[in-house]
Chain A
Amino acid sequence: MKPRVLLSYVIIILLVCMSVYPALWIVMSSFKVGNSLYSESLIPDALTLDHYKDLFTSKKHSYANWYGNTLFIATMSTIIGSFLTLLGSYAMARFRFYGRKQSLMVMLVLNMFPGFMAMIALFILLYQLDLLNNHWALILVYSSGAFVTNVFVAKGFYDTIPRSLDEAARIDGASHFTIFYRIILPLSTPMLTYISLVVFSGAWVDFIFARLILRSQDKITLAVGLYNMVNQRNSTEFTLFAAGAVLLSIPVFVLYFWLQKYLVEGLTAGASKG
């Protein structure tokens, strides 16, 4: 083997170790006996499933409850957010109407403000209106956020579907609703997959806004619960956190690996097609 190739292999293996190590470490910690951050070696002497059991049985954390809350919020946000994006981007891409240019400009400007400037304003509003600690507040914010951030990706996608397709259907007497439902929607699957994935995983792991809005232990989401676990008590429940983090990661991890192709396509579409 040439030295260059050998060196390449060495570097690659080193990089692989670096990228796998944190994941391996957290998984191993979740099976470790005891509750401390400290451990003698990467692979512990004794393995235990206690921490996973504790998550669901302990009185202190209602982990199952958090999981349910998160699932509800993420699913609803995905449905509403994708629906809004689909309608908005389709209209923007396919129709030429008065105010279109202005609307697109407004969307563009909205995207340039730091995301949670609006969130903070909403927080102040909800706080003054006494509407904090409500799941629907989160769902609405995630959905509208999804619409504003993804409308350009989706529009870029629709721009690539030949317009002759709709025109042919129009000539055959199809209404706009029929065209949308029978032609555009089936063709949108890759784009819809991308958007649902982004919205779902975004809502699944968001802790910034969730932490602002959700106040009581029975309402909080996984991300907030986990953040509190390591942040408040100075890592004394580290192994419990590890187990919780593993369970939080699994759905996103699986979705990302499974739908990787769509993700990369969507990301590049957002950048190169606007």
Chain B
Amino acid sequence: MTGSLTLVILMAVMFGAGISIMLERSLTRVLIGFLLVGNAVNVLIYLMSGAPGLAPILGEGVDPDEISDPLPQAFVLTAIVINLGITAFMLALIYRSWWLAQLGAKGDLIDDEEEDLHDAEEAADLIRISAEDDAAVQEIIEASDEEFVDSLDDELELEASARDDLERRGPSTGGSRPPEDER
């Protein structure tokens, strides 16, 4: 069997370089290594077709013994197509893996969702702040109510008409107080 020494050396270098790169941790380097080894195998298939000859097209006046073997060329073409498809998939996978590593599952939220989430958080803050304000206001009102009731108690013994007044206000002060569980 005759073959080109240059191709053999090229194949050996590609195999060696490819395998050593494939052993690295980075996925991109693994992909580059796979491409190198894949192409080294393609060169190997081509080498196995024996001595180079005429283009493998049978026509008038072409001696079938002088053309090169077409079958390995078909193999290589198929292998190249398969490698192309797998490389595309690997690139998508590497991108996805990078995406997950950089952003985590949070990265999957699209901008709108993230904004909505942001808005929701702000709204929650607002509600909490306004609830605190409300509670403070409520406390002041209650305190003033109690003062008012105390002052009424002082007057209670003095005037009987004041008692009627107190009975009218009593439920209304109770009503203005929010129930305990709501706070």
* A and B bind: no
